[in-house]
Amino acid sequence: MNKPRIIAIDWSGRSGADQRRALWLGEAVDGELVRLEGGRTRAEVVKLLVAAADRDPDLIVGFDFAFSLPAWYLRDRGLTPRELWTALADEALTPAMRRLGLARWMNTPEPPFWTTGEAHALLAPGQEFRQTENDVRVSGAQPKSVFQLVGAGQVGRGSLYGMQALQRLAAAGFRVWPFDAPRLPLVVEIFPRVLTGPVRKNSQSERERYLTAVPMALEFRRVAAASEDAFDAAVSALAMAAEELLALPDEPGYALEGKIWQPRVPVALGSAGRQPQPAHGELVTAVARVISEAAARGDSVRAQVEQVLEELGLLGGGADWPAG
């Protein structure tokens, strides 16, 4: 029996045409990367996956967004994960979302979703994260809360759009682990930082250095090195291809919140050592460039600072602003 094809999607919550730039797909067959491409919208990616599974159901797909919300939220509202996906597909999770539509609602959401420090402060300790997000901290990853809909590195917007996609994929016959037993075609939640290990991914030179030790065709290595999104899609596909994903266990403890798939053996595909830090003058130039680009987009001062820190590798994925 041939191994199933693996497709890793570096998902995006961006709006409009920006989706096509930020959303990437990497495909591995028999452990070899055979496709690495961007240029699609979320809807086009879902359509591609449904068509691919119709042609050949021996397919496993990894998405890097949260598959559900913290259990307390679902219990308070009497929702199962599939009912959550359906409510989001209908853009009717809350009364305001029903009135505004998902895209507009995300700019001024009801708690516990937040876009301001004041709204963030309403969350009680322990309410922000799913258990699986706390689990991956052991590997050094710093996840952000799905309730956060603003700021550098936030995953909330992409996850809410992603749960809409899960509803469509489940209706088309995909099994979604751990809510379903692992049978083909299968969808799993991934976290690229867990799969790449420690590498400063926003540096092209460090992506290039990492990829020198990753087996792939030269044409794919060049594409993967050119953007962080392509890098994540390529490395995630190869990491997934290295394990037997149909042997995933039942996870009843994660039946409401979902679970991020983690390899049984820590992945070390590339050379993830850090390059020497830039000299003072280079730092000044880099900071000025990031602030200038952020200001041109109309980003707030807070967002500008976050982007500078992330560029320098000083802002962890779970870093947070004080409330207020």
Element at 26 (helix H, strand E): strand 24-29
pLDDT value at residue 297: 52
> What band does 3 get if pLDDT is binned at 50, 70 and 90?
confident
> What whole-number distance in Å separates Cα of residue 234 and Cα of residue 8?
7
Mean pLDDT to the nearest integer, 216-241: 97
pLDDT digits (tens, 9 = 90+) for 90-117: 999 999 999 999 999 999 999 999 999 9
On the question of pLDDT at 184 being above 90, the answer is yes
Q: By three-state DSSP, how is residue 166 classified?
A: helix
Q: Mind listing the pLDDT tens digit for each residue in 263-274?
A: 987 665 664 433
pLDDT at 301: 56
pLDDT value at position 264?
85
Tell me which residue of 153, 209, 162, 208 sits closest to 188, measured CA to CA: 162
Residue-wise pLDDT for 281-305, tens only, equals 444 445 555 555 555 555 565 555 5
What's the average model confidence in pLDDT over 211-236? Answer: 96
Q: What mean pLDDT value characterizes the chain?
A: 87
Residue range 46-70, pLDDT digits in tens:
999 999 999 999 999 999 999 999 9
- pTM of the entire structure? 0.82
Q: How far is CA 10 from CA 69, 144, 180, 192, 232, in A?
A: 20, 16, 22, 8, 6
Residue 177 has pLDDT above 80, yes or no: yes
Mean pLDDT for 220-228 is 97
DSSP character for 145? -
- Other CB atoms within a 10 A radius of the CB of residue 49 amount to 23
Q: Where are the alpha helices (DSSP H) in the chain?
A: 18-22, 42-55, 71-77, 81-89, 95-100, 102-105, 117-120, 131-136, 156-171, 192-196, 204-211, 218-226, 228-241, 280-296, 301-311
Other C-beta atoms lying within 10 Å of the C-beta of residue 202: 15
Q: Where are the domains of the chain?
A: 1-274, 276-324
Would the pLDDT of 318 be above 50? Answer: no
Residue 277 has a pLDDT of 38
DSSP 106-133: TTSPPTTSBSSHHHHTTSPTT-S--HHH
Using CA atoms, how far apart are residues 132 and 134, in angstroms rounded to an integer? Answer: 5
Instruction: Output the CA angle 56-59-62, nearest 5 degrees.
Output: 150
pLDDT at 315: 46
User: Is the model's pLDDT at 27 over the cut of 50?
Assistant: yes
Provide the percentage of residues in the chain whose pLDDT is more than 90.
75
- Model pLDDT, residue 309: 55
Confidence of residue 198 (pLDDT cuts 50, 70, 90): confident
Q: In the 8-state DSSP scheme, what is residue 139?
A: G
Q: Is the pLDDT of residue 1 over 70?
A: no
Rounded mean pLDDT, 273-284 = 41
Q: Can you give the pLDDT at residue 302?
A: 58
Does the pLDDT at position 313 exceed 80? no
Distance CA 8, CA 65 (A): 12
Specify the pLDDT at position 224: 97
Tell me the per-residue pLDDT of 104-160, one tens digit each, with 9 for 90 and over.
999 999 999 999 999 999 999 899 999 999 999 887 788 999 999 998 889 999 999
